[in-house]
Amino acid sequence: MTSRHLIALVLIGMGGAAPAATQSTDLEYDVRAAFLLNFTRYVEWPAGRPSLPFRMCVLGKSGFGPRLEAAMAGEKWQQQSILVKTIDELANLPPCDLLYVPAEATDHFLAQQNTLETRPILTIGETAPFLTGGGMIHLFVQDNHVRFSINLRSATLAGLTMSSRLLRLARELISPERGL
């Protein structure tokens, strides 16, 4: 078992929270990378997804640096390798299965998110406006732990299905029937 698998098991065992380092952004982003990998295992994409590598895209610069690509090296999603790509623009978005939006890119995402809302792309961001503006998962630090909230309305609109286990671990949930 790799250290990434161990971190992932710890995350689920901790009820969706993992310690974030107050002095170390590096550790926080290692934990975030483990969360991203775990999210892929608790989300179902619509039938007919091409049999290509699973593609994680990061919008602009992020705290990950080369860390996310290193964390995904050798990992699999349903027997497919995981590729990480940094993108600068949503207008000509290459094929992506997951889009990570750092805090600095939130405004760009919000301005163009309507072009993505029905595409089966799991969107994960770092700010509360990202979630309420149409993003699917908001990763944040609270009480020195990385936590998450979910906008199920956005995921459903995109044709993604989130497991009930993932939904139970969320701090807050925007459901299709009601708001946050």
Using one digit for the tens of pLDDT, what is the confidence trace for 127-169? 999 999 999 999 998 888 889 999 999 999 999 999 999 999 9
Phi (first) and psi of residue 96, to 5 degrees: -140, 145
Q: What is the CATH number of the domain that holds 94?
A: 3.40.50
Phi (first) and psi of residue 126, to 5 degrees: -105, 0
Does residue 3 carry a pLDDT above 70? no
DSSP assignment letter at 51: S
Asked if residue 179 is part of any domain, the answer here is no
* C-alpha span between 130 and 126 (Å, rounded): 7
Mean pLDDT of 46-63: 87
Q: C-alpha dihedral over 134, 129, 29, 14, to 10 degrees? A: -80
DSSP assignment letter at 78: T
Could you give the number of structural domains in the chain? 1
Range of the domain at 62: 3-174
Asked if residue 180 is part of any domain, the answer here is no
Does residue 4 carry a pLDDT above 60? no
CA 169 to chain centre: 14
pLDDT on residue 16: 53
What pTM was estimated for this model as a whole? 0.84
Q: Of 10 and 104, which is predicted with more confidence? A: 104
pLDDT on residue 79: 87
Does residue 13 carry a pLDDT above 60? no
Rounded to the nearest integer, the mean pLDDT of the chain is 84
In terms of C-beta density within 10 A (0-12 exposed, 13-18 middle, 19 or more buried), how is residue 176 classed? exposed
Asked if residue 147 is part of any domain, the answer here is yes
Burial pattern 14-26, b for ≥16 Cβ within 10 A else e, equals eebbbebeeeeee
- Percentage of the residues of the chain whose pLDDT score is greater than 90: 55
Q: H or E segment at 33?
A: helix 25-41
Structure token pair of residue 105: 């890119």
Note the pLDDT tens digit of each residue in 82-136: 999 999 989 888 889 999 999 999 999 999 988 888 899 999 999 999 999 999 9
User: Going by DSSP bridges, is the β-strand pair 122-125/137-142 parallel, antiparallel, or unpaired?
Assistant: parallel
Does residue 38 carry a pLDDT above 90? yes
Task: Tell me the residue type at 57.
Answer: C
Asked if residue 113 is part of any domain, the answer here is yes
Asked if residue 118 is part of any domain, the answer here is yes
